[in-house]
Amino acid sequence: MSRILTASKLFSQSLHNHGENRCYFCGTDCDNTYLSELYIKDTFTNRDIIARPSSKYVCRGCVMTLGFGEDDELVMIDGSIKKRENQRGLSPHLYSWIITKDKRIPFTKAHISIIRGILTNTNPIMQLTTPFVIVLSDSGQKHLIFRAPVSKSDEVYPIMLEDEIIITEPISIKERIDITTPIVAATGKPALKDITLQTYISYRKYHGNTYKLEEWESIKNDPISKLAVWLSLNKEEATNEYPVH
């Protein structure tokens, strides 16, 4: 039978429960060890996001990612270790992830500069080789891994940002982040999403004109712009690139 590679299957690595059934959540092949009725919660009333609504079974990776997590500690992308302090604290849905064939690497918004380097190919501490999955959690409230796409290319690839799947490439991400930097320098990161009259006043005071802010306002709702907001520099980093005159 065909083998469907899903993000959950990648996540489970060698633990995957190969079998002749399909996973209710992600659709990969699985055996009959885990019954879907034990894992379906009220949050899954939206059947559009379920791969196999008629299946009675769940794959090991979905069991791992939909629960509280199975490790007592997580090694974050910067090498720091987060220990389990309570039952929920290491739940996979609280984190963002890069998942590859042999690694699953958690990170948070505290690690944005590292992730920015990887996704823009400007500081490649790790080379993305297919298959891989990138999931960026914005709210920490939603289960994203089971429905995240697996990349088949390391040049143009999908990034899951909260509910949205953005197909892009490193140079496009970099160009879009570059547009946000002078705005963050002048007004801070929140203004990227919420541009007010005050934003224009602050921006003009800082840069002497408002051309780049106008450009951003016309494209800020593009999917890739949302990605650029998530990955943008913080105020201190942006100010270093655009010092006050």
Q: Which residues bind Zn ion (CB under 5 A)?
A: 8, 23, 25-26, 59, 62
Closest by CA to 144, choosing from 66, 223, 71, is: 66
Cβ distance to Zn ion smaller for residue 23 or 161: 23
Taking the complex as a whole, how short is the minimal distance between the CB of residue 228 and Zn ion, in angstroms?
A: 31
Least distance (Å) from Zn ion to the CB of residue 157? 21
Q: Which is nearer to Zn ion, 8 or 181 (CB)?
A: 8
**31 or 154: whose CB is closer to Zn ion?**
31
Decide whether 6 or 187 has the Cβ nearer to Zn ion.
Answer: 6
**H or E stretch including 219?**
helix 211-219
Q: Which is nearer to Zn ion, 59 or 166 (CB)?
A: 59
Contacts of 103 (CB under 8 A, 6+ apart): none
Q: CB within 8 A of 58, min separation 6: which ones?
A: 23, 24, 25, 30, 34, 35, 36, 38, 39
How far is residue 120 CA from its own chain's centroid?
A: 14
Minimum CB distance to Zn ion, residue 70 (Å): 15
CB of 88 to Zn ion, least distance (A): 21
Using CA atoms, how far apart are residues 10 and 8, in angstroms rounded to an integer? 5
To Zn ion, the closest distance from the beta carbon of 20 in angstroms equals 15
Could you give the CA distance from residue 92 to residue 56 in angstroms, rounded to a whole number? 23
In angstroms, the CA 115 to CA 205 distance is 31
Q: Give the DSSP H/E element, type plus range, for residue 197.
A: helix 197-207
